[in-house]
Structure 1
Amino acid sequence: MGISLVRYLNKEAKATWGTLEGETVRPLSRQFATLAELLNANQWEQEGATIPGNGLEFLSPVTAPCQIICQGKNYLDHIIETGVKPKNKDFNLLFTKADSSLNAPNAPVQRPPQVKLLDYELELGLVIKKPITQATTITPEMLPDYIAGFVMANDVSARDVQVPQRQWLKGKSFRTFCPVGPILYLPTREEFSQLLNLELHLTVNGETRQKANTKQLMHQPAE
């Protein structure tokens, strides 16, 4: 089994790293200011008693500074919904979100006064642990060397900014527009084989709005 990493506010209202074990959290013995520092240290020793998870305020396990690079129109069903023929999408559509948009998983999304059309998109996030400083060919077998873990994210968009102004970065980067977490799952090397068979579901007020499987990805993680 891998590690279910979480970040939460402790009794002193300080951001704290811990591991989720069932419905309880055990804090790490050493704390770090950012996720990058924690991954670089690679220290997972725990200390103290477990804490009930249902009483904690979870934070985003992904921390700034970081790069948020996204793939657009990458699920087969979503491509069809937008009216694009899959055979006509022969490129990997990439865009970015500012890291100032990072938000806790259960925190409110703040709609700017000028924005009227908010939209949501459930995404599977991959946290990269190894610097890529030049053009690199990565095979599926190499993914465990580059990816630290998987995390759920909500790609919130102001469509009435993004579409008419043709500004994806602006329309997707307002503060709070990227809720992430609560769990960053750090898989074992063997568990990477499940990456292309993960079920993703998003509900709004109990109604299913999104349902997909990662095997529908047109451009897969190694790409």
Structure 2
Amino acid sequence: MVATYTKQALLTGAGAIFLDFMETEDTPNTAPTYAGAVMETPSLETVNAQLELSENRVFLSNILHSDLSAVQSATIPVTAGYFPRGFAEEAQGMVKVGGGWAMPTNPKKKPFRMAIPFTDENGDELIVNFPKCTLAPVNIEGSTSGQDVTPQMKTFNVTGLPLVYKADDGNNFVFYQLDMADEENKTTYDRDKLLENGWFDETSLTANEKTETP
């Protein structure tokens, strides 16, 4: 048997954040809908999505009988200069008071979708889409300005949740990704549609295919 030699490009950076509020939350039988007011925000410094795993391994007769482990959510600290004006405030459950915002004692978070393109050394992208996210209350941070001006970055603690809606195969998913370095994907899908529309099953992914020009 002859080994197949493969070499892939390394990821080199994370691009702009694409955000869109959920208009109607999903149910087990109904897909979510989104507002369609997509906001592209070029403010990202770092992102580090960590999957929350519930491990439940069952041992019987001294051997592993069943692995009932499950991914429950994704914890996503996002370090960025800003989110779109008013977006973080609304997402974390703040309320409008005149021309400003106020934090109530019982904030009601507003779910949203988040997509981020990760660029590789060849200029291709890995597109990651979280179809349902919430944002924790954002801390008020800052430091004094000295002779050297230092940009003030914020940490936005985002949680990626699995949709209640079951996809075509009956499963629930926390996030989706699509590698645009793959030639078949590059030929089939429209990069901008993937980021602006997102997807949460085969049907919604098909809506992001390229439109053939006559």
Work out which of the two has the higher radius of gyration on C-alpha atoms and give 1 or 2.
2
TM-score range, shorter chain: under 0.3
What's the TM-score once normalised by structure 2's chain length? 0.23
Instruction: Compare the two structures and name the one with the higher strand fraction.
Output: 2
What's the TM-score once normalised by structure 1's chain length? 0.23
Instruction: Compare the two structures and name the one with the higher helix fraction.
Output: 1
